[in-house]
Amino acid sequence: MTSDDGLIDALVAVVGPANVVIDADVRAAYETDWTRRFHGSARCVVRPADADEVAQVVRLCSPAAAPLVPQGGNTGLVGGGVPRGGEVVVSLRRLDDIAPVDAQHGEVVVGAGAVLSAVRTQARAAGWDVGIDMASRDTATIGGMVSTNAGGVHVLRYGPMRDQVLGVEAVLADGDVVGHIPGLRKDNTGYDLAGLLTGAEGTLAIVTRVHLALVPELPDRVVTLCAFDGFDDVLAVGAALRREIDSLTALEVFFADGLALVCEHTGLHLPFDRSHPAYLLVECGARAGRADLLVDELAGVLGACPQVRATAVATDAAGREHLWAYRDRHTEAINAVGVPHKLDVTLPFDQLVDFRRAVRAHVNAAAPHARVVWFGHVGDGNLHVNILGLPPDDFTVDDDILALVATMGGSISAEHGIGIAKRAALERAAGSTDLAAMTAIKRALDPQGILNPGVLVR
Amino acid sequence: MTSDDGLIDALVAVVGPANVVIDADVRAAYETDWTRRFHGSARCVVRPADADEVAQVVRLCSPAAAPLVPQGGNTGLVGGGVPRGGEVVVSLRRLDDIAPVDAQHGEVVVGAGAVLSAVRTQARAAGWDVGIDMASRDTATIGGMVSTNAGGVHVLRYGPMRDQVLGVEAVLADGDVVGHIPGLRKDNTGYDLAGLLTGAEGTLAIVTRVHLALVPELPDRVVTLCAFDGFDDVLAVGAALRREIDSLTALEVFFADGLALVCEHTGLHLPFDRSHPAYLLVECGARAGRADLLVDELAGVLGACPQVRATAVATDAAGREHLWAYRDRHTEAINAVGVPHKLDVTLPFDQLVDFRRAVRAHVNAAAPHARVVWFGHVGDGNLHVNILGLPPDDFTVDDDILALVATMGGSISAEHGIGIAKRAALERAAGSTDLAAMTAIKRALDPQGILNPGVLVR
């Protein structure tokens, strides 16, 4: 490999020629994101082997004011992990070391490039589990999950990624390394840098290593699908379950039209003898040998809820997977109809019903041919809004809905983050003081603006 | 009230003459902390009624570069809430509004000055509870608990204060107000300002309102006191309990000499027919009517631990209080002997035994007449080290131990914070890069350095 670019030569000296990618064909996989909506060409892709090499890379780029885009498994949905044009992409995937799991205390230290499913395998072999699970588990990296504060289906039980993080090691914009990797459960020695870097989308530092708190493995799981006359009943019963049952691991909502789409696309039969307006999928988990207790507990609470119209219960793996399929296969069923506009929002619990009604009314008026399919992590107040039949490049309806979310006290990004996609929406939705405070922090830690420029803050 | 101080006149115009305290006798209660180790005279004490008045106070002080010390219930232990000399103390106690508890979802919005026990009373009336409990509950304010990221006995179950916070409203150094008070469970819209302000000890902003996540009330509690031959056995059984039992609410350790001191001072009898080297107090909590399940579960796990030498179980309130007294009354028993030097440290779990041994050896060598009494929240790796018999003003031994903590990968402040007391120790223990990052954040949000100067960072 030869190059007329002095920076590239210097990077090659740090990571070796095989780990500086300038060839356009090889670069391509790093330049386009999973959604195919976001892409840009990279000056090069650098693949350091460890935190020290990451620091050296940053120290070369910093004086040159060469912007950097950190990248993990490239499973982001908002354009935060691919170049906008001309940046050096720093791929963390080679930092995939997984230290031995501390089986006594349920902790593990992993490199930023370790893939979620690989960490989970190691954790489970020691009787523990990772508190986050999501569909991208075989590709998403722990560093990316920290940088985006990943969510998924178990947030109501274990919280988002930030709650799994005991310590973060990261390289700052000047190449210095911060980090409390010992990962203590209690540590009141100054500002929570690990928490600040979690969800910062690579704009304040490049995460290189993470000390994770694990959760006990729960091999016994019970899944119950409940049918309701409406969303308000789903919410009332969801609240009762959250209040009464500690063993809840997931509370997912979907509706008649989405379910019909799933059944049509997949060939699955309706779960009950007739269609119902709304459904709640309830999952509980316990340690081995306690499934019966879970079933009794769940039946006790649901039995006291007159809103429940029908239930289907599964305790075996095949039965659970069957019930989960009604929820999980929404995305593919929607994609089979067309390219949806997707929104990922949280509303205060008491605004969810009004929000859904208002969105429906707005879409009916603004785009009468469009169709809205809803599902989501209702235990967290998090709805995924999928609108089919809108022009691909016209985001007027999306913007209107996000404005409504902000008006109703909601979040315009529940779990996907801001990235490039929602920066303008953030500027409209967030308070100017909050934005100014974030910008001040960004300027303080990255005065040249070389870390993931254009993402999250200006 | 008259004054030749233009700032004071301006403050009076905002909060009224009754709420600007210049009289030395009235000021005194705000100028000395609970430990009596920290005191300084205030320029005045201002008692605003709401966030708007706080913002006006800050807007008056900011251009005058008049330093401010935010104060809640003044129960801090590290000198972070009392003046060093000449500052304006901003007492938040009048911001004690508690909004109606959201009984459906377990949330409440409270003013910074609301006292923990008052919030708890409101929460319990709605079937919920506050996830933090500690001895200062009748005086400590929620704002102070946020600013110090308060801990206490239930951290192993619910995490520290930061984990209870869904949203924070706060006044920045320029008088602008930040805040996401809607308090959403999932919100990935930028840097975690609420998390950053939690534990910032009033150096980045003045917390005015907090959206708290509550936890289900657990009226059925079981307390088991276990005796062991040594600390390593305590740790092994503690780890097994943490691994196997979801209903754990506390895991507290103490030792033979501390227990002897407690019994001597209080007249309590030893809990078992003979003394044992080490004790573990285990508390589990469940919803009403499930105490029997807890007892069985606990007996099952403890029965499989050959290290347990003796156990005492209590399920009724009087019995539980009796067992807790052996742990709770350590502080008063120690204080009755003399004025202890107190350290509040976390060690990685696998370093705890070595740490205790090393401290004992060091104290034996450096101060042969001194006596070390240990207790603590062992479920979090958090030990409170009390050294009796050291000269009151000589902190050489303390500093040596904190240096050892840092060397062993521990935290020099598990839950009390840095304040004034541990700033020099923090500067020795923390990585220079971490300190520089904290200082950069402080400069970015408080460029004049008017918020709690001298606390936490320079």
* pLDDT of B46 strictly over 50: yes
Residue of B nearest to A405 (CA): B182
What backbone phi and psi angles, to 5 degrees, belong to A382?
Answer: -100, 115
B121 SS3 class: helix
Angle at A172 between CA A132 and CA A108, to 5 degrees: 35
Residue A239 is classified by DSSP as H
- Asked whether the beta carbons of residue A188 and residue B413 sit closer than 8 angstroms, the reply is yes
Taking all residues of chain A, what is their mean pLDDT, rounded to a whole number? 95
Mark yes or no for CB contact A381/B185 under 8 Å: yes
Interface contact B380-A198, CB threshold 8 A: no
Minimal Cβ distance to A348: which of B178, B182, B382: B182
Q: Which of A159, A244, A445 sits opposite B437 (nearest CB)?
A: A445
- Is the Cβ pair B162, A445 closer than 8 Å? no
> Does residue A225 surpass a pLDDT of 70?
yes
Chain B residues lying within 8 Å of A191, measured CB to CB: 196, 199-200, 204, 437-438, 441
CB contact under 8 A, B182 and A410: yes
* Tokens describing residue B307: 């290290």
Identify the pLDDT of residue A3.
53
Return the pLDDT at A127. Answer: 94
CA–CA distance, A455 with B404 (Å, rounded to integer): 41
Of A149, A346, A430, the CB nearest to B185: A346
User: Residues of B with CB below 8 A from A444's CB?
Assistant: 440-441, 443-444
Nearest-CA residue of chain A relative to B215? A243
Picking from B190, B346, B441, the nearest residue to A426 by CB comes out as B190
* Of B65, B118, B66, the residue nearest B90 (C-alpha): B66
All residues of chain A having their beta carbon less than 8 Å from the beta carbon of residue B187 are 346, 411, 413-414
**Percent over 70 (pLDDT), chain A:** 99
Give yes or no for residue A4 having a pLDDT over 80: no
pLDDT tens track for B152-201? 999 999 999 999 999 999 999 999 999 867 789 999 999 999 999 999 99
Which of B155, B188, B422 is facing A199, going by the closest CB pair? B188
- Residue B1's pLDDT band, with cuts at 50, 70 and 90, is very low
Q: Is the pLDDT assigned to residue B416 strictly greater than 70?
A: yes
Q: CB B187 to CB A456 under 8 A?
A: no
Cβ–Cβ below 8 Å for B106 and A417? no
Which chain B residues are closer than 8 Å to A172 by Cβ? 433, 437
Q: Rounded to a whole number, what is the distance in Å from the CA of B426 to chain A's nearest CA?
A: 7
Asked if A185 lies within 8 A of B417 by C-beta distance, the reply is no
Q: Please list, in sequence order, all residues whose beta carbon lies within 8 angstroms of the beta carbon of residue A376, skipping any fewer than 6 positions away.
A: A252, A253, A382, A383, A384
Does residue A275 register a pLDDT over 70? yes
Q: Which residues of B193-231 are buried (b: 16+ CB within 10 A; e: fewer)?
A: bbbbbbbbbbbbbbbbbbbbbbbbbbbbbbbbbbbbeeb
Name the residue of chain B whose CA is nearest to A414's CA.
B187
The residue-averaged pLDDT of A382-402 equals: 94
Question: pLDDT value at position A13?
Answer: 98
At residue A35, the pLDDT reads 79
Please give, rounded to a whole number of angstroms, the shortest distance from the CA of B195 to a CA of chain A: 7
Q: How many CA atoms lie within 13 A of A29 on its CB side?
A: 7
Residues of B whose CB is below 8 A from A151: 186, 188
Beta carbons of A181 and A154 less than 8 angstroms apart: no
Ranges assigned E (strand) in A371-410:
371-377, 382-388
Give the minimum alpha-carbon distance from B127 to chain A in angstroms, rounded to a whole number: 9
Cβ neighbours of A236 in B, within 8 Å:
104
Q: What is the pLDDT of residues A133-159, one digit of tens each?
A: 998 999 999 999 999 999 999 999 999
Of B176, B186, B204, which has the smallest distance from its Cβ to A346's Cβ? B186
Rounded to whole angstroms, the Cα distance separating B106 from B130 reads: 10
Distance CA A230, CA A217 (A): 34
Cα–Cα distance measured from residue B35 to residue B12, given in angstroms and rounded to the nearest whole number:
31
- Give the percent of chain A with pLDDT over 90: 90
Query: Does residue B290 register a pLDDT over 90?
Result: no
Subunit contact B106:A377, Cβ cutoff 8 A: no
Partner-chain contact A413 B187, CB within 8 Å: yes
Residues of B in contact with A165 (CB under 8 A): none
Residue type for position A249: T
Helices (H), ranges, A45-203: 51-61, 116-125, 142-147, 155-158, 193-197
Any idea which residue has 């609470």 for tokens? Answer: A301
Contact present, B402 and B369 (Cβ < 8 Å): no
CB contact under 8 A, B176 and A445: no
Nearest CA in chain B to A455: B190
Of the candidates B186, B246, B377, the beta carbon closest to that of A382 is on: B186
Residue B4: pLDDT band (50, 70, 90) is low
Band of residue A2 on the pLDDT scale cut at 50, 70, 90: very low
Write down the pLDDT at residue A1.
Answer: 43
Q: Taking residues B422-441, what's their average pLDDT?
A: 94
Contacts of B285 in chain A (CB under 8 A): none
* pLDDT of the residue at A114: 98
Best to test chain A binding among B186, B198, B204, B443 (most A CBs inside 10 Å): B186
**pLDDT tens by residue, A194-210:** 999 999 999 999 999 99
Q: What value, to the nearest 5°, has the Cα angle with vertex A13 and ends A8 and A16?
A: 95
Spell out the alpha helix ranges (H) of B198-248: 231-244
Q: If you average pLDDT over residues B138-157, what whole number do you get?
A: 97
Residue of chain B with shortest Cα separation from A406: B182
pLDDT at B123 over 70: yes
Residues of B in contact with A214 (CB under 8 A): none
Query: Which residues share a beta bridge with B169?
Result: B179, B209
Question: pLDDT per residue over A318-364, tens digit each?
Answer: 999 999 999 999 999 999 999 899 999 999 999 999 999 999 999 99
**pLDDT confidence of residue B3:** 52
> Which of B185, B204, B458 best probes binding to A when mutated, by most A CB atoms within 10 angstroms?
B185
Interface test with B, best of A102, A185, A193 (most B CBs within 10 A): A185
Q: Which residues of A touch B422 (CB under 8 A)?
A: 189
In this structure, what are the phi and psi dihedrals at residue A226, rounded to the nearest 5 degrees?
A: -115, 145
Average pLDDT over residues B33-57: 94
A309 phi and psi angles, rounded to 5 deg: -95, -30
Share of chain B above pLDDT 90, in %: 91
Q: How far from chain centre, in Å, is Cα A168?
A: 18
Q: In chain A, what's the furthest Cα-to-Cα distance? A: 73
Best probe of the B interface among A186, A248, A423, by most B CBs < 10 A, is: A186
Do residues B147 and B208 lie in contact, with contact meaning Cβ atoms separated by under 8 Å?
Answer: no
pLDDT in tens, A76-90: 999 999 999 999 999
Q: What is the pLDDT of residue B34?
A: 81
**Which chain B residues are closer than 8 Å to A177 by Cβ?**
433
User: Residue A35 carries which side chain, given as an amino acid letter?
Assistant: T
Phi-psi category of residue A409: left, alpha or beta, with phi > 0 → left and psi -120 to 50 → alpha: left
User: So what's the ipTM on this one?
Assistant: 0.95
B123 Cα to chain A: minimum distance (Å)? 13
**Closest residue, chain B, to A457 (C-alpha):** B190
Per CB-CB distance under 8 Å, the chain B contacts of A350 are 102, 104
Asked if B380's CB is within 8 angstroms of A185's CB, the reply is: yes
How far apart, in Å, do the first and last CA atoms of chain A sit?
A: 35
Q: Kindly indicate the confidence band of residue A452, based on its pLDDT and cuts at 50, 70 and 90.
A: very high
